[in-house]
Amino acid sequence: MKTNRKDEYWAFQLKLMRRVCGSAALSVLIVMGLYLLFWKRRMGDWIVWFLRNVLSMDHQAAYYFYSDHFRGNKDRFFIAAILLVFALLLWQIFHWMTRYFSEINQGIESLLADDGTQIRLSKEMLPFERKLNAVKRTLAEQKEETAQAERRKDELVMYLAHDIRTPLTSVIGYLSLLEEEPDSPPEQRAKRVRIALDKAYRLETMMNEFFEITRYNSQQIALSREPVDLYYLLVQLADELTPLLAERGNWVVLKMDEDLTVRGDAEKLARVFGNVLKNAAAYSDPHTEITVSAGNVEGDVVIRFRNCGEDIPPEKLEAVFDKFCRLDQARSTGTGGTGLGLAIAKEIVSLHGGIIRAFSGDHTVTFMVRLPGMES
């Protein structure tokens, strides 16, 4: 491709050089012709002939007129003719160049017009045509990306406002009841305080996760890469989440070698695996196990989290990693999170140079995390 483009530029330069050299050669020939006319007496004969036959002067009068007005100033006429020839040469070259500049200017105007049409230039301007069209495509893509980013921002604000309003309304409602009913039974007051506090904690968690995902999106998170004992990390997470899992009668089963390690940020990887396990706890059928398996695959480390539960529709398998994405089942239960856990997990995995995917079928949901191995 680069060779072809160089050939195209060379063809354009060669054509321009041929035109300039051809015009220069023609000018030299014209100057040589003028020299023969002025200095080899041909011009004098033609002037005398013109005076005799066109202006009806006799031969002697025509000759004297030529001698008085032309012969003594022959060198001046010659220089003037040479200047005129080179002026015409420069005008011709300028005309060619301005035509090319005019085409480029039209291409730039089409570029700024953003009308979706292809820029068309003359055949010899093909390299510039391709460059302008490439810039036009890039600008169109950047405009679309900007529009998508604006839409995502609007959606983010909308979802955040919606999710903040729900717990905030509950907090205000229960606090209002406490204010309106100061003489209510202590048990009822304690219950209302507990519910309001739970909603406030949920609101705090939501805001913390929102700011966290914002930091990941703006690339403000630095990783501290070191060898991580994957087995120990997952055992520790499973123990920490035992109370949450026990609420629905779930438990974690690990199927992996105890010496399996990866290079990464242990704290942030724990965040990834913890978020995936919490998601599995929210969507698993009651009294079923959550299986965590891991192993080396082609130099990478692949961790799979598998649970029994309602299948995720194919069109939502990618959407589950979007911000504020929660399936209806989780929204209707107390286990529904903020909708940012999997989005945060995806950002952290991406920072590690890995990928995270979701698979679903036969009443089984699997999340696969693939991370570079120790030698990567």
Q: The dihedral of CA 240, 242, 245, 246: what is its sign? A: negative
Is residue 290 scored above 90 in pLDDT?
yes
Query: For the chain, first and last CA: distance in Å?
Result: 32
162 & 97 share domain: no
pLDDT value of position 304: 94
Beta bridge mates, 364? 308, 361
CATH classification at residue 336: 3.30.565.10
Average confidence (pLDDT) over 189-193: 85
What pTM was estimated for this model as a whole?
0.54
- Closest alpha carbon to 363 in 278, 285, 303, 287: 285
Q: With contact defined as beta carbons under 8 Å apart, do 97 and 105 qualify?
A: no
101 & 165 share domain: no
Q: How many residues does the chain have?
A: 376
Residue 234 within any structural domain of the chain: yes
pLDDT value of position 306: 94
Last residue of a domain, one of 183, 217, 251: 217
Q: How many CB atoms are closer than 10 A to CB 327?
A: 19
Residue 120 within any structural domain of the chain: no
Q: How many domains does the chain have?
A: 3
- Helices (H) and strands (E) counted in the chain, each on its own, are 11, 7
Last residue of a domain, one of 65, 95, 113: 113
283 & 331 share domain: yes
pLDDT value of position 331: 40
Is residue 22 scored above 80 in pLDDT?
no
Read off the pLDDT of residues 66-82 as tens digits, 9 standing for 90 and up: 676 666 666 676 677 77
39 & 96 share domain: yes
Residue 188 within any structural domain of the chain: yes
Read off the pLDDT of residues 111-162 as tens digits, 9 standing for 90 and up: 777 776 777 777 767 777 778 888 888 888 888 888 877 776 776 677 667 6
- Closest alpha carbon to 358 in 367, 347, 370: 367
Phi, psi for 118 (deg, rounded to 5): -75, 145
Average confidence (pLDDT) over 32-55: 68
Confidence of residue 334 (pLDDT cuts 50, 70, 90): very low
- Average pLDDT over the chain, rounded to whole? 78
Range in 30-34, 135-139, 172-176, 218-222 the model is least confident about: 218-222
Range in 93-97, 323-327, 347-351 the model is least confident about: 323-327
Q: Which domain holds residue 163?
A: 151-217
Last residue of a domain, one of 187, 217, 247: 217
Q: Give the separation between CA 249 and CA 147, rounded to whole angstroms.
A: 46
pLDDT value of position 330: 42
Average confidence (pLDDT) over 293-309: 91
CATH classification at residue 191: 1.10.287.130
- DSSP per-residue string spanning 330-344: HHTSTT---S-HHHH
Confidence of residue 42 (pLDDT cuts 50, 70, 90): low
Residue 128 within any structural domain of the chain: no
Read off the pLDDT of residues 245-264 as tens digits, 9 standing for 90 and up: 888 899 999 999 888 889 98
Residue 194 within any structural domain of the chain: yes
**Most confident of the ranges 81-85, 111-115, 177-181:** 177-181
